[in-house]
Structure 1
């Protein structure tokens, strides 16, 4: 409703809606998109270069016709060091202040103005409309986020309002709510869809089972919209089987860079080329990643925002490994599809073979269902998988998991059963690796891994 009081923002909102509707309908060809991106890139460079103290110094001497590749990368450390000097608008011109969680370092300020929010939420409204249209009109959507200073509640609440969906915001880790009350609310309303992390979806199922409830029979959830953590196809399928619902990897985003990709109805995670310009680089050489025969590029994602709000980022190294595929004919969203493979630093070497967290999780859980929680244990002579749930050692899926681990990684998979505890709930706050992987191999943990493991243990202790 705020746009009623700001006619220029109302005009922008209508323009963005029309633009995304036309894009989803296939009205943008490659030439039109390239021209649009080039124009918006020039606008972002000029805007940030004149307004942001950080980018004014960073872009000094850059001529209008210079190639984007000549612009230095922006890193997470730059964001920490620059703080509010990275902003292109003063804080009083923003509408809200967010910040990163600060669990493993200084929190980074992430204010947003109305231009930021309108651009990002218009993408989510367009893409998520294809998802929620499948589930009818009588929907109540739960939203669970990590903290009150995170964008989760505001963003998904606003997008659901755009789509005409009722919302219940609840934070099960909050002492004022708790899991017992959250489960009561989920049954009472009833909640039909849920925005949360994969870890929260598992935690809610675990608490429901402990309370004598059946997540499939005693709840009405039809769709999980998962974000904030690594989410391989195998984990999504397991969460879906626990709840009798469809689980989507719904959003790839960060507090710093906002929306980077979002889900369509077919389950794909699609880039948002009307608001971001994407590069995929080799994280070691920083050169552009070489596409494979199928056009797929794998490497670290670099993003430049194409809208001019409170804090546009230019050539921002996300620190995330991705696998990006070209736009496919007939896809729900006519944009490149992306798989988020985990942080660059979360890649693992197992039996001399390099593997991302996404691919390792997908491999080990491919044939596992009814799993309430899991943790991976790396030993010198095998990979361990600790499972919690209604599973047994003779489960046929575990036999297949052992065979595929041996074939893919050349090592044995040893399966055990038990509850990993609260540490697995810390992935969104610390890292997937700190939450999900116990590395018992000698000399494998670096200083950053040790620091993150300590942060995860401390957070888990408070949550217990």
Structure 2
């Protein structure tokens, strides 16, 4: 799939997507917009600044109000000293959020809250997040900042968790606000198995999807199991993906298979969207709404850019202000020019703190191995893989559905040893080993509760799967 040249407009704001009034003049040069944020919000939009210096000035203007408002929360009221600036403030951690559960971070009256959310973590207290109605306009506006915008003619399949996590609800509401038709295909719902997902993609002529990168590859196998050909989904024009790092090779493979652009998103439940791809495939951080910094745990230093743990300060947060919140994601952030001319820093997400393993004295992360797996020729049909990091070697398994498994294994082993510098053992496993065929073909939904059964019916499964 070829990415468009620099004639693609910058991401549409929510007002543009719905045909609403713009607050500025006509669009300027390619990649710039002169419209404002959500109507009447006073929030910035791409094109409101023309240089990194102007962007930094806007950030500086918002730091003092953010600090002032944060004092309304019990947590920061105790932490902030009189006259203390952001540069003198320590990090806010996930542990702080857990200890503040549920409302010790709250900075507005409880009656102003519109929604409450929690992260998907499973240890100890959850990390809570809550938003006012005004903040939902900001969430939606940031979500629709896309090189392939959402509009009234689109049908968006949301295949991200709903529940207490923000991402599914945010995409749902933002797309509706943009006039699109939304298909709520929650990936954690028993009512939407993979067989139903591919049917919906086909029958509803879905144009956009919102999922993890891994989901989009499972759909390929599910479509094959259901008898769909590679060209059965011509309406699909973009796949929005988030929730896990994606290598450039896996991105290209997904684009080749689906014949649609992959648009990578980055965000978190506590704050919402943090960045997305420009027309040139480089992810930009929404630094006009959220101030990013880089923390080096070895030195304890915090710098405006570089490689390290991402620390964020939302500049317009109401319900739950966060000051120097350490996401614990390892990123590379740079204020550097890009042909899109958005004048926003670029960000590469390298992984989560603590992820990765040492093999033969070298530290390896999942994305490094993934890049080599998906560099294998597409003819091998490899979609699924797994690896185990042993002290002295990397053990890798790949599903090779057709002939050529020996060649695929030998090619991958040579790439791993040459590029990663570790010993490895690569083997092929039968199709359906890593993603079971019954998972792809499953059609049963969660059953509704029943009390009365007929002769021969199994009354042990009244509420669980049949």
The bucket for the TM-score relative to the shorter chain is: 0.7 to 0.9
Q: 1:192 to 1:290 in 2, by over 3 A?
A: closer
CA RMSD of aligned residues (A): 3.0
Out of 276, 288, 293, the residue aligned to residue 279 of structure 1 is 293
Separation in structure 1 between the aligned mates of residue 346 and residue 37 of structure 2, nearest angstrom? 27
Equivalent residues of 1:368, 1:398 under 8 A apart: no
Q: 1:77 aligns with which of 72, 76, 95?
A: 95
1:33-72 matched pairs, under 5 angstroms: 33-49=55-71, 51-59=72-80, 61-63=81-83, 66=85, 68-72=86-90
Cα 1:149–1:389 shift into 2, 3 Å: farther
Q: Output one character per residue of 1:280-330: Cα deviation in whole Å (capped at 9) or x when no partner.
A: 121333213697xxxxx2111000010131112110010100012323242
Once the 2 structures are TM-superposed, how far is the Cα of residue 12 of structure 1 from its aligned partner?
7.3
1:233-291 CA-partner distances (Å, limit 9, x unpaired): 12212222332322222x11111132221222322211001111111121333213697
Is contact 2:285–2:344 with CA below 8 Å preserved after alignment? yes
What does residue range 122-141 of structure 1 map to in structure 2 within 5 Å? 122-125=141-144, 127-128=145-146, 130-132=147-149, 138-141=153-156
By how many angstroms is 1:368 displaced?
5.3
Whether the 8 Å contact between 2:70 and 2:77 is mirrored in structure 1 is yes
Change (3 A) 1:356 1:268: same
So what's the TM-score if we normalise by structure 1? 0.78
Residue 19 (str. 1) matches residue 44 (str. 2)? yes
Shift of 1:29: 2.3
Q: Over alpha carbons, which structure has the higher Rg?
A: 2
Alpha carbons of structure 1 residues 336 and 400: separation in structure 2 relative to 1, 3 Å: farther
3-state secondary structure, aligned to 1:387: strand
Q: Which whole-Å CA distance do the structure 1 matches of 2:255 and 2:392 have between them?
A: 33
Which of the residues 370, 391, 399 maps onto 1:388? 399
Distance 2:353 2:369 in 1: 14
Indicate if the aligned counterparts of 1:186 and 1:219 stay in contact, CA closer than 8 A. Answer: no
Counterpart CA distance in 1 for 2:364 and 2:342 is 29
Q: Where is the helix percentage greater, Structure 1 or Structure 2?
A: 1
Superposed, which structure 2 residues align to 1:52-451 within 5 Å?
52-59=73-80, 61-63=81-83, 66=85, 68-83=86-101, 84-125=103-144, 127-128=145-146, 130-132=147-149, 138-217=153-232, 220-249=235-264, 251-288=265-302, 297-331=306-340, 333-367=342-376, 369=378, 370-390=381-401, 392-393=403-404, 399-418=410-429, 419-421=433-435
Contact 2:240/2:262 (CA < 8 Å) preserved in 1?
A: yes
* Count of residue correspondences: 400
Bigger mean CA offset, 31-40 vs 75-84: 31-40
**For the residues of structure 1 that align with 2:286 and 2:371, how far apart are their CA atoms?**
25
Unmatched segments (≥5 aa) in structure 1: 2-10, 292-296, 426-461
Instruction: Kindly state the Cα deviation for residue 102 of structure 1 after the two structures are TM-superposed.
Output: 3.5
Identify if the C-alpha distance between structure 1 residues 173 and 214 changes in structure 2 by more than 3 Å, giving closer, same or farther.
Answer: farther
CA contact (8 A) 1:120 1:275 kept: no
TM-score computed with the length of structure 2 as normaliser? 0.77
- Check the 8 A contact 1:115/1:307 in 2, yes or no: no
* Kept after mapping to 1: 8 A contact 2:358/2:389: no
Q: CA–CA distance in 1 between the matches of 2:109 and 2:322?
A: 16
Deviation at 1:185, TM superposition (A): 1.5
CA contact (8 A) 2:148 2:238 kept: no
3-state SS of 2:131 partner: coil
Aligned partners of 1:290, 1:113: CA distance in 2, in Å?
29
